[in-house]
């Protein structure tokens, strides 16, 4: 049986602030639909990814800031870091590990993202 992960809910307090942050990081806005005053669905996809995130109202019971890890694979950690800094995104230094080079960032609600440059094989 084949299964494809396509959507991960990320709980946020302010939908528009979170949407702006993820757009600034480089995610594409696929959908932004207000269904009712109790339901708004925003889907964002990182460039080149088959999996998206969704933020909104009425989507999840999880607490904002509770996502501890979303891992995105990137080509080059140094370039990714430079690009994020140029867009005004706060990131630390590149973290060198035997299993890859990482750049970490946190959305306005405290949800954590890791960008990983895979080790050369």
Domain-by-domain residue ranges, the chain? 7-117
Asked if the model's pLDDT at residue 31 lies above 80, the reply is yes
Q: For residue range 60-105, what is the model confidence (pLDDT) as tens digits?
A: 999 999 999 999 999 999 999 999 999 999 999 999 999 999 999 9
Q: Which fold has domain 7-117?
A: 2,3-Dihydroxybiphenyl 1,2-Dioxygenase; domain 1 (3.10.180)
**Cβ atoms of 80 and 115 closer than 8 Å:** yes
Query: Secondary structure of the chain: what % helix, strand, coil (to 5)?
Result: 15, 40, 45
**What average pLDDT does the chain have?**
97
> Alpha carbon 116 to chain centroid distance?
13
Q: Work out the pLDDT band at 120, boundaries 50, 70, 90.
A: confident
**Cβ atoms of 104 and 59 closer than 8 Å:** no
Mean pLDDT along residues 24-37: 97
Asked if the model's pLDDT at residue 115 lies above 90, the reply is yes
């Amino acid at each position: 049986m084949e299964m494809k992960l396509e959507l991960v809910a990320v709980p946020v307090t302010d939908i528009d602030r979170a949407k702006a942050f993820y757009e600034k990081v480089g995610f594409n806005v696929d959908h932004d639909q207000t269904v009712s005053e109790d339901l708004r669905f925003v889907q964002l996809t990182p460039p080149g990814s088959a999996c998206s995130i969704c933020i909104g109202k009425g989507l999840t019971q999880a607490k904002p800031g509770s996502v501890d890890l979303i891992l995105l694979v990137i080509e080059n950690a140094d370039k990714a870091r430079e690009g994020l800094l140029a867009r005004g995104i706060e990131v630390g230094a590149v973290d060198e590990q035997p299993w890859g080079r990482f750049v970490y960032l946190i959305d306005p609600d405290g949800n954590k993202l890791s960008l990983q440059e895979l080790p050369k094989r």
